[in-house]
Each structure stands twice: as structure tokens, then as C-alpha cells.
Amino acid sequence: MLEGRHLSVAFDGRPVLDDVSLAVASGERVQLAAPSGTGKTTLCRVLAGYLAPRTGEVLVDGSPLPRRGPCPVQLIGQHPELTLDPRMRMAASLAECGASEEELGRLRELLGIRDAWLSRYPHELSGGERQRFCIARALGAHPSYLIADEVSTMLDAVTQAQIWRALVAEAEARAMGLIFVSHSPALASRLATRVVELPAVPGAVRG
């Protein structure tokens, strides 16, 4: 079980999240739903350990997220260029997840990653191609929970469909919990087993 308990976050003294709690079980596919600017991305970052809350805690099976080593919660963001080292070739970036060559080969095939892309740098690939690597890296870390924050918003329809088929297939095969943010009602209705509505915070900043 992935739990966020009484999470609050503020930037420069202005609230983004206020006493938010949620729990996601293994195998669930949960959509975070709320108007733009009401803290969905901030909550995703807190649940994955990228951002410390002002109050509250994040637990996986009753224990805090580890400070070192592989994290059981992996986050895939909307902008893959922000998470890839521009000085590293893609093969090296992919290998950082620690998966075996056999596992990486399986993930490359699943996500349609071409061998020719492995020797390139991030700026030599399209956004959709970079996103495939980010997804492969996250899956290669063998998370118990995967958070997908608008991962397909900027991609064409064909790439969106391929990426989501791969994510759902992996989530089902591993009984992995999946939390996602999407502004596509059609996509959300097909994917979500449950929807969590985030309450608006009066006077909140966008996050």
C-alpha cells in the first residue's frame, strides 16, 4: 500500500496542498483529478520522494521511502528533457536504472526503442523518443508503484496509445500500483479503476 498521510505543501508561505491523504493498493490504477494549478504535480513529486512535505508522511507498506538505493515509487514527468542528462548517451542513461541487459532489451522492445537511438544524446531524439527512455528507466527500477504525470500530453496519438498499452501491460503483469494525471477524459475513463479528486486550496499557488 502506498499512503500519503495528511500532506501539506507551501511555497513561499502560500499553500499548494493542505492536509491531503490518499492510499493506493497494489494493482490499482488511480487518476488524480483536479483543475489545473491545484497541486497534482506537487502531490506526485511528494509521493515519489522528490519533494518533502511541510507536514505529513509518505509510506510504502508502512515504512517511509528509502533515503538511498532504488525507490519503490518511480515518477515519470511530462517533460523528459528535464530528467535526462544532456551529456550522456541514451544507452548510459537507460543503464542507470540498474536492470539487467536482458530486462532492458525486453523493455526496449515493449516500448519501441530502436537500437539506433542508444548511441544518441537526448537532444538528438524527439520528445516521444525521449519519453520512451524515461518510462523504460522507471520500469527497469522495478517499482511497486509508478506515477505518470501527464506523460503523453505532448505526444502524437499513435505514440500515446503505444506508451499507455505498455504501461498498463506492465502494471497488470507486476500487480503494480499506477497513479496518473491526465486531462483526457477518454483516456482516464479507459484506464482508471478509481478517481481521487483533489480539493482546491483557497489562495493556493499553482503547483
The x, y and z cell numbers of residue 197, run together, are 479528486
- DSSP state for residue 39 in the 8-state scheme: S
User: Where residue 198 falls among pLDDT bands split at 50, 70, 90?
Assistant: confident
Query: pLDDT of 65-111, one tens digit each?
Result: 998 888 999 999 989 999 999 999 999 999 999 999 999 999 999 99
Strands (E), 111-183: 145-149, 177-181
Collapsed DSSP state (helix, strand, coil) of residue 71:
coil
Confirm if 145 and 176 have CB atoms less than 8 A apart: yes
**pLDDT value for 153:** 77
Strands (E), 90-190: 145-149, 177-181
Cα separation, 9 vs 98, in Å, equals 32
pLDDT in tens, 25-53: 999 999 998 877 779 999 999 999 999 99
